[in-house]
């Protein structure tokens, strides 16, 4: 049988794209295998948000290059954000790659696989929403991603995403509802709405559809029978409206979790990042959220070592982290990306300084997350059962606040059960049904 190997890196949007890639490959009669050695078609779906992502890919593609040297009949395809950022120059670094396909061109994959050519092929056109409308092959039976928009129109000075995913473009409400109905019919109970800035949903749609705001989309989805849980990410703090807070508070299926990247706690750095809010504005939104939504979890992203970040800027970030009491944080060292404004800024911060700040920040965010989890010990949580956990005899699932729970007892995957929490770490909870 004809075979493929697929490895995907990067954010949930990319993982969702990987489901579409899988569907295309399987519609071409290819069957998945576990290692590149066994595969005729080898696909890497890439991320380029930080230099470490590029390096990770470089570590993997070496294996494919070796395989191709021994057997030139193999086809190597690289999809996603890295070739989209580099376009034709990508082939100069990786001459053994047969085709490179940007995220807006994934529908070209079928032709590349079914009718291979001798020449290298690159597909990097800016085409709206194609991947959002493509069918995917889910790997989780009860959970699904729904891409409600693509691209980003913000211009955060450090970020390459707008350059590789194009401007913000929303799908229509009808299209999103149609896909969700089909998912429910297929057994899905939890959906995660995806977009770089979901709060901005609908802003780009034509006038007739202007009533399509994010809160009204949530209300329409909440009305669908069979969807128990609705999650969404990512939210931009500037666009976290009171209407959205009210929607989370009142619509039963909307989960009490908001991922709200703050990036920095320094006014000067936030301005240089072009985030368009101050630390006080951010904290005010978090307070409004915690006031409006009972038991809401707030998680964030933080960058250390942005150009010009001084010791007191970093101290302001630590202060904000203490004030916000985050339930979880993804923390990153700033990484200069070609083509972004910040890459050209003076006063790039030395790697050792960034590393030191990152360690201090991680220590603080983990301590906070552990404290937030600790408060749940002795309480009951509703958990959507996802399947067996890594430890024999226990099950794994998630709370509405998006916390992973490992627990004992009997329950079937896809069910929502009440779990008594007995123990907590900074990332997970333990308990029993």
Residues 26, 3: contact at Cβ < 8 Å? Answer: no
- Cα–Cα distance for residue pair 252/242, rounded to 1 Å: 17
Tell me which residues in 173-212 interact with ligand SAH (CB under 6 A): 196-197
CB of 307 vs ligand SAH, minimal distance in Å = 11
3-state secondary structure at position 261: coil
User: Which tokens sit at 46?
Assistant: 């890439």
197 in contact with ligand SF4 (CB under 6 A):
yes
How crowded is residue 325: how many other Cβ atoms within 10 Å of its Cβ? 13
Residues 39, 42, 43, 49: which binds ligand F3S (CB under 6 A)?
A: 49
Size of the site for ligand SF4 (CB under 6 A): 9
49 in contact with ligand SAH (CB under 6 A):
yes
With CB under 6 A as the contact rule, which of the stretches 169-177, 198-206, 333-341, 372-380 interacts with ligand SAH?
A: 333-341
303 in contact with ligand SAH (CB under 6 A):
yes
Site mask for ligand SF4 (CB under 6 A), range 147-186, x = bound: -----x-x-x--x-xx------------------------
Site mask for ligand SAH (CB under 6 A), range 334-363, x = bound: xx-x--------------------------
Site mask for ligand SAH (CB under 6 A), range 132-161, x = bound: --------------------x-----xx-x
Polymer length of the chain: 433
φ, ψ dihedrals at 357, nearest 5°: -65, -40
CB of 82 vs ligand F3S, minimal distance in Å = 8
Contacts 24+ apart (CB under 8 A), 93-99: 94/61, 94/65, 96/64, 96/65, 96/68, 96/69, 97/61, 99/75, 99/123
Residues 136, 261, 397, 414: which binds ligand SAH (CB under 6 A)?
A: 261
Instruction: Kindly give the residue spans of alpha helices, DSSP state H, lying in 265-308.
Output: 267-273, 279-292
CB of 59 vs ligand SF4, minimal distance in Å = 25
Q: Angle CA(339)–CA(342)–CA(348) in degrees, nearest 5? A: 125
Residues 13, 102: contact at Cβ < 8 Å? Answer: no
Binding footprint of ligand F3S on the chain (CB under 6 A): 10-11, 13-14, 47-49, 80-81, 161, 164-165
């Amino acid at each position: 049988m004809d075979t493929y190997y697929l490895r995907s890196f990067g954010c949930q949007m990319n993982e969702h794209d990987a489901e579409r890639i899988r569907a295309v490959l399987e519609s071409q009669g290819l069957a998945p295998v576990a290692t590149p050695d066994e595969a005729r078609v080898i696909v890497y779906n890439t991320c380029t948000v930080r230099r470490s992502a590029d390096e990770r890919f470089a570590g993997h593609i070496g294996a494919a290059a070796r395989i191709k040297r021994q057997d030139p009949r193999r086809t190597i395809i690289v999809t996603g954000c890295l070739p989209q950022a580099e376009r034709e120059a990508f082939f100069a670094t990786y001459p053994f790659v047969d085709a490179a396909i940007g995220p807006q061109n994934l529908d070209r994959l079928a032709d590349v696989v079914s009718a291979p050519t001798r020449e290298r092929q690159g597909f990097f056109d800016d085409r709206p929403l194609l991947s959002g409308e493509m069918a995917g092959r889910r790997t989780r039976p009860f959970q699904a991603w729904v891409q409600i928009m693509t691209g980003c129109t913000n211009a955060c000075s450090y970020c390459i995403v707008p350059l590789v995913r194009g401007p913000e473009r929303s799908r229509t409400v009808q299209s999103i509802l149609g896909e969700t109905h089909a998912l429910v019919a297929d057994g899905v109970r939890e959906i995660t709405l995806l977009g770089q800035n979901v709060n901005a949903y609908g802003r780009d749609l034509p006038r007739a559809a202007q009533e399509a705001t994010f809160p009204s989309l949530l209300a329409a989805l909440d009305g669908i029978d069979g969807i128990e849980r609705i999650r969404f990410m990512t939210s931009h703090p500037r666009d976290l409206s009171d209407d959205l807070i009210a929607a989370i508070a009142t619509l039963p299926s909307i989960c009490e979790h908001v991922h709200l990247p703050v990036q920095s706690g320094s006014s000067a750095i936030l301005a240089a990042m072009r985030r368009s809010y101050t630390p006080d504005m951010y904290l005010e939104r978090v307070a409004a959220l915690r006031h409006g939504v009972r038991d809401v979890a707030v998680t964030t992203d933080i960058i250390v070592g942005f150009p010009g970040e001084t010791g007191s800027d970093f101290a302001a970030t630590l202060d904000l982290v203490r004030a916000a009491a985050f339930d979880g944080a993804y923390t990153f060292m700033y990484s200069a990306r070609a083509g972004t404004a910040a890459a050209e800024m003076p006063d790039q911060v030395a790697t050792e300084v960034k590393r030191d700040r990152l360690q201090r920040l991680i220590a603080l965010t983990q301590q906070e997350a552990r404290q937030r989890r600790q408060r749940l010990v002795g309480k009951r949580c509703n958990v959507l059962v996802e399947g067996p956990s890594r430890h024999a005899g226990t099950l794994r699932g998630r709370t509405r606040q998006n916390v992973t729970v490992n627990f004992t007892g009997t329950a079937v995957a896809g069910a929502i059960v009440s779990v008594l929490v007995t123990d907590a770490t900074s990332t997970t909870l333990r308990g029993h049904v």
